[in-house]
Amino acid sequence: LRAQMNPHFVFNCLNSVNRFILLNQPLAASQYLTKFARLIRLVLENSRSEMISLEKELETLGLYIEMEALRFADRFSYAIELDESMEANCIDIPPMLIQPYVENAIWHGLLHKKGKDGRLDIAVRLLGKDLQVEITDNGVGRFVANLLKSKSASEHKSFGMSVTAERLQLLSKLYNRDI
């Protein structure tokens, strides 16, 4: 889980802090660095536990999204909607399950979109006894994202989605239910 935090994200965050420093924006650099440190601490703390509260997962996720939005000059807005009947501090989930899907939506959908009208929405609700997390964006779509990916000269391979899929399979076996 500790390795799941995308090294490119860490590298890019540090470059963002450097950019704020070079642009002589010490307050922005300090605020960004403070958020980055808090996010890293949360990820490390959460990765030590098999389960964490949904509240803690959403706090970590919100901080991650906020940093990506700042880093990309507010090219997208976002909202995390929690079903009002839920008590997020009383629901436990495995850590870092939602983040790879959100990262995928940002990097492969929203960042290829022109302009600053990108939108990311995360809805968390209970359906009976099941927790449902729905991630939607108004990005370029999977077809265009795949075309752009195939044209890219980058050798970068993302492991977040495959690691998460493996985790879900293991959790399904462990708890003997479809996760």
Q: Which residues contact 149 (CB under 8 A, 6 or more apart)?
A: 108
Residues 45 and 20: their CA atoms lie apart, in Å, by 28
pLDDT at residue 97 in the model: 86
Parallel/antiparallel/unpaired status of strands 118-127 and 92-93: unpaired
Encode the chain (179 residues) as per-residue pLDDT tens digits. 455 566 777 887 888 889 889 999 999 899 989 999 999 899 888 888 888 999 999 999 999 999 888 888 878 999 999 998 899 999 999 888 898 889 889 988 898 888 889 999 999 999 888 899 999 999 877 656 556 665 554 544 456 667 777 878 888 888 888 87
Q: Which residues contact 114 (CB under 8 A, 6 or more apart)?
A: none
| DSSP-assigned letters across all residues of 65-80 | HHHHHHHTTT-EEEEE
Residues 167 and 162: their CA atoms lie apart, in Å, by 9
pLDDT at residue 158 in the model: 58
pLDDT at residue 155 in the model: 45
pLDDT at residue 54 in the model: 96
pLDDT at residue 153 in the model: 46
pLDDT at residue 166 in the model: 82
> 177 and 107 in contact (C-beta within 8 Å)?
no
Which tokens in the block code for residue 134?
């729905």
